[in-house]
Structure 1
Amino acid sequence: MQFYKERILNAAQLKRLSEHKYSCSSASLLDAWLQPWWCWLVSKTPLWLAPNLITILGLIINIVTTLILVWYSPDARQDPPRWTCALCALGVFVYQSLDAIDGKQARRTGSQSPLGELFDHGCDSISTVFIALGACIAVKLGEYPTWMFFQCFCAMTLFYCAHWQAYVTGTLKMGRIDVTEAQYTIICIHLISATLGADVWATQVGSFEMRYSLGGAALLGAVMTLGSLGAAIVAGGVGKNGSTVAVSCLLLLHVAWELYTPQTAQTINNCIIKRYIVDGRAKPLAFWNFV
């Protein structure tokens, strides 16, 4: 049954979609150590289990375990039961493991596709919110709302910039200290809270509380990662389909402002079209022709 009368993608866009190949490079410190675990895990996974099902199962487990933590500490100021932190640590571990093997399962079964990549990264974008929120609750960062906002903002920004870099360069590049290290650091934070209690993060070390270490780690990680991502974005120049840094910035502005000022959105859209015309890399395109 057809629910939409008009075709969403035209023939040229469908052709580009069919030609898309996922490209990823990683220099992560932990990835090399975890590869044997991931390979063993995928080898025990039934061939009939769809990669997208693995992805969504990991996301659901992560969301459920985090929501249990939220239930006991909705404002991130109350001391959550220790078992909820342990459960959240397990949820992040299961999610991370399943997220690492869904691509392997897709290649193993010959079912990899651009839409599968989109689904995987879309689930990751949702999970990033819950992982950051869970870490804030585990250290009771709600007592310092500014730091809590900063922590969550860093997580969202780094996720976006990583995919922005992939958009303009064509390759998703993981640094030495990247998402895997961040996820296992958060697992350790949950385990510390589960073992010693969330109040341990209020312990004074000099003139600062231990919970500030979470914000400090976020700041350090943001500086290191954004530096490498920024260099890759600028050096990447132009993506496969003429996706310049300038055009991708305008795309972001267009999406951000479209809901509020349609006139501004149209102006930005015109700038995008002019950019394509001036650079001569592609025919004029509206902002939604991004495939």
Structure 2
Amino acid sequence: MDPMMQKWWCWLVEQCPLTLAPNLITISGLLVNIATSLLLVYYSPDAKQEVPRWACFLCALGLFLYQSLDAIDGKQARRTGTSSPLGELFDHGCDSLSTVFVSLGVACSVRLGTHPYWMFFQCMMAVTLFYCAHWQTYVSGTLRFGFVDVTEAQFGVIAIHLLSVIFGPSFWSLKGTSVLSPVVPLLFVLVPSVLIAWKSPYDIYLQNPTIYLLTFGCVSARVTNRLVVAHMTKSEMAYSDASLLGPALLFLNQYVNCPINENYLLYIVCIYVIYDLIKYCQEVCLEICHHLNISLFTIVPKRPASSTSSAAFEKNGSSKYMTRSKAKVKSN
């Protein structure tokens, strides 16, 4: 999205006076981002309560302003002839701090605190990916950007905040019974399947089309089974699923420039998701069989009526018949 945003950034930097220091632009954007993120933390300190929709909107706006100011500080430095190593350090240092507050803000917006371990994973994964990006820079000497990178991730977070504004923070509850709640698990399958195939440096889909489709097909089948169980049991649809760890591993491997060969990793993930699907189906079927006291693949014959009951029935039936016969003879 960077080429698309360049026109906006170039126009914005032209509005800045030449006396405005680039570092002041950077720190101003960071302060706006921190303030709007802390607003969500104020209303939901444990990320469990619903935050006001207007606060989510301000957080989305604050992140957009931070993104814009962070993009023009380098342009302002080149424009004013004040580029220096200090500016680069100041820029990346502010980015590292912003990553923390963006993670906390989005966690509050989607009430991720209801699942604290997912919240821990999300926040720590964000700072880890940021560290890995600069680790790569340290080794290679170049800060590389992928097709889907920082700008796209920031717009993704902005979109999450705006969805919280439109539908309310409860829309992101990890368990939901609303009409839209089953859409989220489907997106967790479709979006990674497209991005991983698109960004793969080894053409992972074209090299292994059947294995690739089998892998994501099994993940989709697992999520679909969860939806069917939720419908049959009239229970909530859970967004989280163990099978999603497979696509997440492929996505993470691409993000750090594929230290593990994608083709080998795809086979490992394929085996994992097939095992996870079989394990889930087995557990669900056995649980239902145990609850209903039925067998899965055999029919248990019904117990025949006891001989005592049959004799009693025959006795009662014959006595009634004899009584009616005698009454008929007497009447004649």
Shared fold by TM > 0.5?
A: yes
Task: State whether structure 2 residue 198 is matched by structure 1 residue 168.
Answer: no
Q: Runs of 5+ in structure 2 lacking a partner?
A: 183-226, 231-236, 261-332
Does residue 195 in structure 1 map to residue 166 in structure 2?
A: yes
Q: 1:46-94 CA deviation, whole Å, 9 max, x = no partner?
A: 1111000000000000000001110000000000011000000001000
Question: Given the alignment of the two structures, is residue 181 of structure 1 paired with residue 211 of structure 2, yes or no?
Answer: no
The structural deviation recorded for 1:221 is: 4.9
Is 1:99 paired with 2:129? no
Which structure exhibits the higher relative contact order, with contacts defined as CA atoms closer than 8 Å and separated by 6 or more residues?
A: 1
Tell me if structure 2 keeps the 8 A contact 1:154–1:219: no
Distance 2:63 2:240 in 1: 20
Structure 2 residue 109 is the aligned partner of structure 1 residue 116: no
Q: Percent identity among equivalent residues?
A: 60
Cα distance, 1:153 vs structure 2: 1.2
The aligned counterpart of 1:34 is: 5
Alignment of 1:44-123 (within 5 A): 44-123=15-94
Q: CA deviation at 1:226?
A: 2.0
- For residues 2-54 of structure 1, the C-alpha deviation after alignment (integer angstroms, 9 at most, x for no partner) is xxxxxxxxxxxxxxxxxxxxxxxxxxxx0111111111111111111100000
CA distance in 1, matches of 2:151, 2:94: 16
Q: 2:118 aligns with which of 131, 141, 147?
A: 147
Give distance in 1, aligned partners of 2:58 and 2:138. 35
Structure 2: which amino acid aligns with 1:224? Q
Which residue of the partner structure matches residue 5 of structure 1?
none
DSSP-derived class of the 2:51 partner: coil
- CA shift digits 1:247-284 (9 cap, x unpaired): xxxxxxxxxxxxxxxxxxxxxxxxxxxxxxxxxxxxxx
Partners of 1:190 and 1:220 in 2: how far apart? 26
List aligned pairs for 1:213-232, cutoff 5 A: 221-228=251-258, 230=259
**1:176 CA displacement:** 0.5
The structure whose Rg is larger is 2
Letter in 1 for 2:124: F
The code of the aligned residue for 1:131 comes to V
Structure 1 residues 126 and 136, CA, compared in 2 at 3 Å: closer, same or farther? same
2-structure distance, mates of 1:59, 1:220: 32
Q: Distance in 2 between matches of 1:80 and 1:220?
A: 33
**Contact between 1:141 and 1:211, CA under 8 Å: does it hold in 2?**
no
Cα distance per residue 1:102-160 (max 9 Å; x no partner): 00000000100011100110000000000011111111000001110111111111100
Partner SS, residue 47 of structure 2: coil
Please state how far the C-alpha of 1:227 moved relative to its aligned partner.
3.3
CA distance in 2, matches of 1:115, 1:186: 29
1:117-132 alignment, distance < 5 Å: 117-132=88-103
Matched, 1:158 2:142: no
Cα distance between partner residues in 1 of 2:69 and 2:250: 28
* Contact 1:73–1:80, Cα closer than 8 Å, also in 2: yes
**Aligned AA (2:48):** R
Structure 2 Cα separation of the partners of residues 128 and 107 of structure 1: 25
Q: Under a length normalisation based on structure 2, what TM-score does the superposition of the two structures give?
A: 0.57
Gaps of 5+ in 1: 1-29, 232-291
Structure-2 change in CA distance of 1:218 and 1:128 (3 Å):
farther
Query: Is the helix fraction higher in 1 or 2?
Result: 2
Cα root mean square deviation, aligned: 2.0
Contact kept? 1:62, 1:92, Cα under 8 Å: yes
Distance 1:59 1:211 in 2: 32
Q: Provide the aligned length of Structure 1 versus Structure 2.
A: 199
Residue 134 of structure 1: aligned partner: 105
